């Protein structure tokens, strides 16, 4: 690594890589620093792989805007570069008469956000599409789909390298100091500790985003940046059930949008996967508790009656970096330049939970604007 960079990005998850691919150009020194041995070993490979439409999030929020824009950008990108994906469509179900009002409210929310092609289906219309699913009515979201997150990240890695950007693995950022016109960044890598200067520093550190902000001297309690870990487990459904459902199937989301409800996704091999569950945890542990099988079975059997208890096997888990504690109202993504904290050119991305995979290309575009404001 040279001792001077124009732009340094901390974290090689999908958001850091999309951002690096967007801001790299032959004339700038751009670095991505990643503490793990390769890219995408954390949140970006432990998710549902769903291309969300942008239905759930409060109108005008970054989550809503970036998700709706990211949805379109992602399909274009996948089409142009042959990244594995499928536009499966999705149903959000009302299971009781009382839920029909909630479904209509959610439809209004999604339409105000600009999610494409949403409409309500009657029981008959829903059954025509998905005869093996139970429900009284459903929102049809034709622009929801799935993508291979790993293939998407590989695409961004290739773009970064093509444009002359460099990705350093096994390189952990351990210190950030304000210097004239930029930042002195201390890193630890195999051969020891060293530091270098960068004009712009972008924090895409996922679960460690709050700690990285703290390294730069931000009081994270006062800024409202402290992250709370929220684990989501997945169970797979026996492959003997493959083909019984063709779309993504979701119940209505739980109150306060802690998640979007234990749902059914279909992976690119046609396997059905249930999850993610919601459990706040104190530490990062990706094991799936086999005893949670009953909870999964109970949460889906009302709308997926063909699923039997013995069909379910532990699959994997991911951890969401949430800005809100249990019971608190949903918080928006933080994506901001910290000039007003005396740290111009330090750009924080914190609380990038779902729909961060979908939103990644749109977040990258937004961050590129913040970078231009600094570098001109």
Ligand X SMILES: Cc1cc2nc3c(=O)[nH]c(=O)nc-3n(C[C@H](O)[C@H](O)[C@H](O)COP(=O)(O)OP(=O)(O)OC[C@H]3O[C@@H](n4cnc5c(N)ncnc54)[C@H](O)[C@@H]3O)c2cc1C
* Interaction site with ligand X (CB under 6 A): 10-16, 33-36, 41-44, 46-50, 52, 172-173, 204-208, 212, 232, 276, 318-320, 352-358
Q: Which of 178, 94, 84, 175 is nearest to 133 (CA)?
A: 94
Closest CB to ligand X among 52 and 199?
52
CB 13 within 8 A of CB 44: yes
Separation CA 86–CA 22 (nearest Å) = 24
In angstroms, rounded to a whole number, what is the distance separating the alpha carbons of residues 17 and 154? Answer: 9
The answer to whether the CB of 4 falls within 8 A of the CB of 197 is yes
What does the alpha-carbon distance between residue 203 and residue 337 come to, in Å, rounded to a whole number?
A: 10
Q: Minimum Å distance from CB 149 to ligand X?
A: 7
CB of 128 to ligand X, least distance (A): 26
- Least distance between ligand X and beta carbon 286 (Å): 10
138, 94 Cβ separation under 8 angstroms: yes
Angle between helices 62-81 and 356-375 (to 10 degrees): 100
Q: Which is nearer to ligand X, 137 or 346 (CB)?
A: 346
Candidates 28, 7, 32; CA nearest to 17 is 32
Residues linked to residue 193 through DSSP beta bridges, in sequence order? 188
Which residue, 94 or 363, is less far from ligand X as judged by CB?
363
Cα separation, 262 vs 253, whole angstroms: 9
DSSP string, 139-184: EEETT-EEE-HHHHHHHHHHHHHHTT-EEESS-EEEEEEEETTEEE
The residue (of 137 and 205) whose beta carbon lies closer to ligand X is: 205
Q: Which two tokens stand for residue 171?
A: 């390189």
Cβ count within 10 A of residue 308 = 13
Nearer to ligand X, 30 or 137 (CB): 30
- C-beta closer to ligand X: residue 165 or 318: 318
What is the nearest approach in angstroms of ligand X to the Cβ of residue 51?
7
Helix, strand or coil for residue 24? coil
Residue 357 Cβ vs ligand X, minimum distance, rounded to whole Å: 3
Q: Given the complex with ligand X, which of 91 and 137 has the nearer CB atom?
A: 91
Whichever of 34 and 338 has its CB closer to ligand X, that residue is 34
Q: Which of 87, 109, 54 is nearest to 354 (CA)?
A: 54
Residue nearest to ligand X (CB): 356
In the complex, the smallest distance separating the C-beta of residue 73 from ligand X, rounded to whole angstroms, is 12
Least Å distance between CB 352 and ligand X? 4
Closest approach, Cβ 176 to ligand X, in A, equals: 10
């Amino acid at each position: 690594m040279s001792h001077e960079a124009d732009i340094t990005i901390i974290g090689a998850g999908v958001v850091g890589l999309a951002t690096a691919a967007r801001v790299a150009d032959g004339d700038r020194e751009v670095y991505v620093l990643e503490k793990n041995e390769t890219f995408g070993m954390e949140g970006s490979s432990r998710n549902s792989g769903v291309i969300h439409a942008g239905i759930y999030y409060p109108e005008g929020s970054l989550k809503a805007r970036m998700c709706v824009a990211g949805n379109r950008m992602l399909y274009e990108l996948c089409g142009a570069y042959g990244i594995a994906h499928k536009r499966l469509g999705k149903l959000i179900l009302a299971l009781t008469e009382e839920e029909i009002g909630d479904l209509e409210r959610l439809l209004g929310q999604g339409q105000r956000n600009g999610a494409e092609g949403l409409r309500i289906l009657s029981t008959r219309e829903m059954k025509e599409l998905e005869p093996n699913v139970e429900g009284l009515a459903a929102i049809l979201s034709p622009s929801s789909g799935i993508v291979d997150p790993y293939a998407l990240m590989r695409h961004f890695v290739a773009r970064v390298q093509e444009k002359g950007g460099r990705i350093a693995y096994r390189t952990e950022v351990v210190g950030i100091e304000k210097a004239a016109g930029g930042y002195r960044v201390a890193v630890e890598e195999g051969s020891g500790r060293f530091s270098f200067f960068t004009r712009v520093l972008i924090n895409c550190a996922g679960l460690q985003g709050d700690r990285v902000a703290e390294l730069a001297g931000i009081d994270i309690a006062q800024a409202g940046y402290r992250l709370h870990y929220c684990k989501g487990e997945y169970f797979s459904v026996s492959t003997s059930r493959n083909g019984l459902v063709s779309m993504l199937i979701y119940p209505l989301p739980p109150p306060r949008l802690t998640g979007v409800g234990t749902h059914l996704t279909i992976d690119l091999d046609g396997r059905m996967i249930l999850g993610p569950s919601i459990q706040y945890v104190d530490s990062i542990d990706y094991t799936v508790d086999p005893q949670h099988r009953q909870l999964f079975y109970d949460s889906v059997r009302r709308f997926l009656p063909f699923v039997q208890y013995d069909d379910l096997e532990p699959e994997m888990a991911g951890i969401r970096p949430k800005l809100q504690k249990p019971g608190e109202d949903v918080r928006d993504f933080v994506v901001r330049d910290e000039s007003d904290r005396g740290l111009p050119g330090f750009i924080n991305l914190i609380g990038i939970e779902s729909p961060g995979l979908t939103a990644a290309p749109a977040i990258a575009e937004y961050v590129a604007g913040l970078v231009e404001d600094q570098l001109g």
